[in-house]
């Protein structure tokens, strides 16, 4: 059974209340601080995606044994990740992986146009470098954030994956090996394309898969959901699903 650790999924951290931009994808700074405080009090230690992939391959984590492990991720790359989220994370000694929409860097959330008329600033190249210098990691969230990668033809799919990777690698001057599926929509064809584009891991949405190219996450910003309750619930769901997949007659089930 692959080791399960909670991968927490965030999008926006806003100063007060919830944003009009996909409100289910935002969390107030106060609520976010409370979640980080809870994780810190319970001894949670953040690992990187590289460390998690090593663990899935049978390697040993670089973190201390016996500590609770988790991973923090943000999708899209909103500017408030720099102004609101980063100071809170630094207060507790945490860093995160941010998956960037490559075409939106330094611009706004035009990719959200189908969901809102509000325009929100995205991280600039300067913001990204500042965060990278203090330990934050970056991955790709595609070039343009299409509604569904699964609906694209093979050529357009490859362009979304390769163009974003190339732009981010030129910006960061380092390999970009991790991906997050837009709208968390994924299929086996998309997984294969992500692997072929040179990524080594990819994060998806809420579920019970925990393999390198479909690392399901814990949604902690949904209204009324407490982080500690959701983490425990997802761990139980994963354990049950893993047991079911190992049951006789299910040997070919997806890991």
Residue 62 belongs to a domain: yes
Domain contains 142: yes
pLDDT of residue 57: 83
Q: Is residue 253 part of a domain?
A: no
CA–CA dist 246, 80 (Å, integer) = 42
* Mean pLDDT by groups of 10 residues along the chain of 255 residues: 83 76 75 89 91 82 67 97 97 97 97 86 98 97 97 98 98 98 95 98 91 91 60 78 54 31
Residue 24 lies in a domain: yes
- Domain span at residue 233 reads 7-245
- DSSP characters over 66-105: TSEEEEEEEEE-BTHIIIIIHHHHHHTT---EEEE-GGGT
Residue 19, domain member (yes or no): yes
Alpha helices in 184-226 (DSSP H): 188-196
Q: Is residue 210 part of a domain?
A: yes
Residue at 26 is within a domain: yes
- Residue 252 in domain: no
For the whole prediction, is pTM greater than 0.85?
yes
Number of domains in the chain: 1
Task: Give me the CATH number covering residue 240.
Answer: 3.20.20.370
């Amino acid at each position: 059974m692959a080791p399960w650790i909670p991968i927490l999924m965030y999008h926006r951290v806003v100063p007060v209340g919830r944003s009009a931009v996909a409100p289910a994808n935002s969390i107030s700074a106060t609520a976010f601080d409370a979640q980080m405080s809870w994780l810190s009090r319970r001894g949670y230690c953040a690992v990187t995606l590289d460390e998690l992939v090593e663990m899935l391959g049978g390697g040993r984590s670089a973190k201390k044994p016996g500590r609770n492990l988790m991973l923090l991720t943000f999708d899209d790359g909103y500017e408030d990740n720099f102004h609101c989220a980063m100071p809170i994370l630094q207060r507790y000694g945490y860093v995160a992986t941010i998956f960037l929409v490559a075409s939106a860097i330094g611009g706004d959330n035009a990719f959200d146009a189908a969901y809102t008329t509000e325009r929100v600033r995205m991280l600039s190249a300067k913001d990204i470098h500042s965060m990278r210098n203090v330990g934050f990691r970056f991955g790709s969230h595609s070039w343009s954030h299409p509604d569904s990668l699964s609906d694209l033809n093979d050529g357009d799919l490859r362009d979304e994956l390769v163009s974003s990777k190339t732009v981010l690698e030129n910006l960061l001057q380092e390999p970009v090996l991790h991906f997050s599926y837009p709208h968390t929509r994924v299929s086996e064809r998309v997984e294969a394309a992500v692997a072929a584009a040179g990524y080594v891991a990819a994060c998806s949405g809420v579920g019970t898969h925990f393999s390198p190219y479909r690392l399901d996450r814990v949604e902690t910003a949904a209204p009324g959901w407490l982080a500690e309750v959701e983490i425990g619930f997802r761990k139980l769901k994963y354990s049950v699903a893993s047991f079911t997949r190992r049951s006789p007659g299910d040997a070919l089930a997806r890991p």
